[in-house]
Structure 1
Amino acid sequence: MRFGKKGKLSPRYIGPFEVLERVGPVAYKLALPPNLSSVHSIFHVSMLKRYHMDGDYIIKWDSIVLDKDLQYEEEPIVILDRDVRKLRTKEIKFMKVQWKHRPFEEATWETKRDMRDKYPQLFVESSTTPFFP
C-alpha cells in the first residue's frame, strides 16, 4: 500500500509528530523522523488530525517498514471467519481477515482464491500455525 494513497484498505494516520511551526493560515511544518526524510515536512490542515491519548487509529511510524517509495506491505494475521456466497451458477468462498497494524474492526472480507494466491503460507498445514485452511 502506498503511503497516503487510497486503496482497498484506506490509509490511516501515522505519527504522532511534533508541530514545529505554522507556515501559513492552513499549513504546518512537522518534525519528521529521518526515515521519512523524502516526505515534504509541510502539511495542509486537512491532512492532520488532533492527537488523542487512545490513538487506536494511528499507525506507529516505527512499527512499519517503509521502502524508498514510501510503500509497505499489509500482512494478514489471522482468518477470523469464513463464508460462502452463492450466485446463480457458482459459489464464491470468502474469508474475513485481520491485517497487521489494523484493529479488529478493520478486518476485511477477501476471496479465498485471492488469499491463496497472495499468501500461500496461510494454507500450509501445520500444528503450530494459527491459520486454518
Structure 2
Amino acid sequence: MGDWVYLRLQPCKQTSVHNKKLGKLAPRYYGPFKVLQKIEEVSYKLDLPLGSLIHLVFNVSNLKAKLGNQVVPRPTLLAVNVEMVLTPKPVLILDRKSIKLRSRTVTQVLV
C-alpha cells in the first residue's frame, strides 16, 4: 500500500478504451497511480481519477512498479463518454483543406 504503479490497459482487446486508429502507437502503460489496498494475493485497488469509467481493482499482471523517488502523477486515461465511445479532443488545429470528390466534399484537418 502507498506504492506507485503504472497501469496496463491492453491485456486483451477492450472495446471501451481501445482505439483501432492508434494500433501499435497506443500507450501501453498509464499513470503512475497510487495503490490504495491489497485485495487478495494478486489483486490491488488503485486510486484512479474520478472521471475514469473502469473498475478500480486490477490483477498484478496489469501493473508495473514505478521506480524512483519523484512522483508526478499524470492521470491521462483515455476520454470515454457514457456510451463507452472514445472521444479524443484535439489540442490545436493548424490547417484545414477541402477536397472535392465525385459526389461529396471531404475536409482534412491538420492537428
| Structure richer in helix, relative to its length | 1
Higher relative contact order (CA 8 A, sep 6+): 2
